[in-house]
Amino acid sequence: MKDDLNYVGHILDCARRIQRHTLGITREAFDSNEILQLAITHLIQTAGEAARKLTPAFRQLHPQVPWNQIVGMRHRLVHDYLNIDIDVVWQVSTVDVPKLISQLAPILSESAGDAS
């Protein structure tokens, strides 16, 4: 469980960094900033890798989080890198990531309360 919580912390950190870097950014600005696109893509991959390492039992305890989609996105970015759809990266960054933050933050808050 401790390792799972560490991985959730990594995912949440990646999500918050994505949110911080895309906050107030227009789609046009995102499209014209290759470095930002690469950074966001890398953060999504990193979050997916951390999600991939979660135990099945932990995932089952938290079915509200779309674990399979997070891992699946990582697989697409890593293994189909020549066909990355920047529209999907933008959607994940601006729509899915805020939802993910709201799903993950309570998990870590609850576990912090359990530790005391």
Does pLDDT of 26 surpass 60? Answer: yes
Q: Which of 42, 52, 62, 79 is catalytic?
A: 79
Q: Rounded to two decimals, what is the model's pTM? A: 0.91
Residue with the bigger pLDDT between 73 and 82: it is 73
Task: Report pLDDT digits (tens) over 93-109.
Answer: 999 999 999 999 999 98
- Predicted confidence at residue 113, as pLDDT, reads 63
74 is catalytic: yes
Does pLDDT of 1 surpass 90? Answer: no
17 is catalytic: no
Q: In angstroms, what CA-CA distances link 98 with 22, 45, 52, 115?
A: 11, 17, 20, 26
Structure confidence at residue 116 as a pLDDT band (50, 70, 90): very low
Q: Which of 20, 42, 59, 74 is catalytic?
A: 74
67-79 vs 34-52: helix axis angle to the nearest 10?
A: 130
Flag the least confident range among 1-10, 14-23, 49-58. Answer: 1-10
